[in-house]
Structure 1
Amino acid sequence: MSNSYKVSFKIPQEWEEALTYFCQEQLEIYPYIEDLPEGTSMTLVCKGAEAVPTVLTRLRRFWRDLNRIWNVNIPFSAKVVEIDLEKLLDWRRFFTVIHVTPHLAIKPYWEEYSASPGETVIAISPKNAFGTGLSPTTRICLELMEETIKPGLRVLDVGTGSGILAIYAEKLGAQIVDAIDNDPSVFENLRENISLNGCTRIRQFNSDVRHFETRKPYHVAVSNLILHEIKQVIPSILKLIESNGTWIVSGILAEQKREFINLIQDYNCKIIKYAQKEEWWGAVTTQGEKSNG
């Protein structure tokens, strides 16, 4: 009996890019898109029945965000069908080496690739096309990290998933990297990717950031979360960063950047650098001196 499920739903054509990147990065699922006579259809493959409710809940939240941004009221409806994953098309052929910056390349672990002088290579093991870490939101994070993280810093990766951000933090010279995620299912793949890249300074924690504690605050936190999730964890992340510390954040739609900027201003934070790819936006923020009261 198969243990995988296909989630299919119709999408407005103008939402295709936003939904594709959301699924790849936030759900860590590679979507299959099909243009049918009755419209565009998107299909996701979930491993295990327990994953389906979470995927549907997060899809509905993002769908509401898109309705608000486009000022429309398109209902969300999905069909869930159990499938045999082994009969799906071999997805490996879709992935190859990606040059994120002149100094960073991401490769699937099965690809042979020789780094050029001064280039860092990260090998990633995706799970049945999940967690490739190559969406615009991840690339924004990686680029901003390259410009921000220096040797000797303490780094917190919130919502680590495949671990790609934590791995790059170590390769940039971070003294310690704490990778946390509230989803226990990510840790098998996380450990595999840490091993593939020979990392030794990444500590793993199955924890919600709202309940996470540290004896020593971090110099830098990095997160790749949608705005709905960011709103829930802003105070918790900022509490874990030292005064004048840095928070690298991505996963925000460009149309939502003003809302995010207004939010962080309430916490005595400001934007010091930002980047945009397609319709996604991210930034480096810094927090002012914390009150002792």
Structure 2
Amino acid sequence: MNWSEICIHTTREAIEPISNILHEAGAGGVVIEDAEDLKRTWPDRYGEVYELDPADYPDEGVNIKAYLPVNSFLGETVEQIKEQINALLLYDIDLGRNTITISEVNEEQWATAWKKYYKPQKVTDHLTIVPTWEDYQPESADEKVIELDPGMAFGTGTHPTTVLCLRAIEKYLRPGEDVLDVGTGSGVLSIACAKLGANRVLAVDLDEVAVKVAKLNVKVNKVQEVVEVKHGNLADHVDGTYQLVVANILAEVILRLVDDAYRLLSPGGVFIASGIIENKRKDVEEALRNAGFTIIDIESEEDWVSIVSRK
């Protein structure tokens, strides 16, 4: 089978929503090529090794690449992708150049080309994300390994918004607590909570494909006794009481979730919100305070922000 590589040149702000659009269109995963990565002084906090080839990156902005099967529906699929990306302008998301190019690759190229981007990465003091095809052994008894296949959904789990969430979870989750993960995607946050000692985790996502992928990742990581994955829209129809609610989604969606997060949290419970671009930060802060939350922690990574608040 031949595959079509679709490449969207855009901005860092648009990475998460465009990646989700590509996933919903049937892409097995995405590759992010960010020109700023070549200029960064990469932290050596966890001993990572970064090998970046300038030839793989645009002169400026971000390339988001995904692979779709070449079939009779490809043209229609690409047009739908274009329409959905353009619709992001309604949410004041900067799309930059917003140029789309298509090229064809064969089965062998597709199957191996994207794997070169993904290596084990220690994202917090105790959490390491490892592609399923890598043979990796923990360096200490305290290290928790999360196995993910980036070809299945949403990339490697090492995007700044996800890393911010994982660091906050490690900091604020106490063993034995119940957790609600809204917009779970690949399930990486729920898996992390389980491995860090959560009693029970309910993971919810509106995308049925994401639900299937998250369930598979939960099984791969052997935490199905702790994590339940369900199809649902945000916290609609979610009952019970949780000590931690986590959401790594767009700021506009977090604003819709705030009141439900407050309703579902027990007194003293913590709400971790990430996926917030810097220019939407004040809107989210204001909504949290209006709902009754006290903001206790704000962290940033590149242009992204996570906000931790307490009920």
TM-score after normalising by structure 2:
0.75
| Corresponding residue SS for 1:274 | strand
Q: Distance between the aligned counterparts of 1:102 and 1:268, measured in 2?
A: 31
Residues 165-221 of structure 1: per-residue CA shift (max 9 Å, x gap): 00010111111000110100113321221122111211111111242222x211110
Paired AA for residue 254 in structure 2: I
Is the Cα–Cα contact under 8 Å of residues 127 and 189 in structure 1 kept in the other structure?
A: no
For 1:126, the equivalent position in structure 2 comes to 150
Identity among equivalent positions (%) equals 25
Write the deviation string for residues 216-240 of structure 1: whole angstroms up to 9, x where unpaired. Answer: 2111100101112212322233322
Letter matched to residue 184 of structure 2: T
Give the aligned partner of residue 308 of structure 2. Answer: 284
Equivalent in the alignment of 2:139 = 116
Verify: 1:57 aligned to 2:84, yes or no.
yes
- The residue identity in structure 2 corresponding to 1:133 is G
Query: What corresponds to 1:138 in structure 2?
Result: 162
Q: 1:191 aligns with which of 215, 228, 239?
A: 215
Assess, with a 3 A threshold, how the Cα gap between structure 1 residues 231 and 104 changes in structure 2: closer, same or farther. Answer: same
Counterpart amino acid of 1:57?
Q
Q: Aligned partner of 2:88: which letter? A: R
Residue of structure 2 equivalent to 1:90: 113
Q: Distance in 2 between matches of 1:169 and 1:210?
A: 18
Distance 1:45 1:179 in 2: 26
Amino acid of the structure 1 residue aligned with 2:125: P
Determine the C-alpha separation between the residues in 2 that align with 1:51 and 1:172. Answer: 40
Query: Which of 208, 212, 233 does residue 208 from structure 1 map onto?
Result: 233
Give SS of 1:145's match: helix
Aligned residue pairs: how many? 275
What's the C-alpha RMSD, in Å, of the aligned pairs? 3.3
For the 8 Å contact 2:33–2:57, the answer to whether it is kept is: no
Q: Quick one: which amino acid aligns to residue 229 of structure 2? A: Q
Alpha carbons of 1:129 and 1:245: their partners in 2 closer, same or farther (altered >3 Å)?
closer
CA separation of 1:91/1:75 partners in 2, compared to 1, >3 Å: closer, same or farther? closer
The structural deviation recorded for 1:29 is 2.8
Instruction: Tell me the TM-score normalised to structure 1 length.
Output: 0.79
- The one-letter amino acid paired with 2:231 is N
**2:194 corresponds to 1:173:** no
Matched, 1:31 2:56: no
Change (3 A) 1:186 1:10: closer
Structure 1: give runs of 5+ residues left out of the alignment.
68-72, 288-293
Structure 1 residue 60: deviation in Å?
3.9
Aligned to 2:179: 155
The answer on 1:258 being equivalent to 2:282 is yes
263, 269, 279: which one pairs with 2:293? Answer: 269
Cα shift readout 1:264-291 (whole Å, capped 9, x = no counterpart): 111111211121111111021112xxxx
Answer whether contact 1:24 1:130 (CA < 8 A) is retained: yes
CA gap 1:36/1:106 in 2 versus in 1, 3 angstroms: closer
C-alpha contact (below 8 Å) 2:234/2:257 kept by paired residues? yes
Given that 1:92 and 1:129 are in contact with CA atoms closer than 8 Å, whether structure 2 keeps it comes out as: no
Q: Secondary structure at the match of 2:256?
A: helix
2:66 maps to what in 1?
A: 45
Local SS of the residue matching 1:112 = coil
CA distance in structure 2 between the partners assigned to 1:247 and 1:84 by the alignment: 45
The one-letter amino acid paired with 1:209 is L
Counterpart of 2:166 in 1: which secondary structure? helix
Unaligned runs of 5+ in 2: 24-28, 35-55
Q: How many angstroms does 1:121 deviate by?
A: 1.2
Indicate if the aligned counterparts of 1:91 and 1:128 stay in contact, CA closer than 8 A. no
Counterpart for residue 291 of structure 1? none
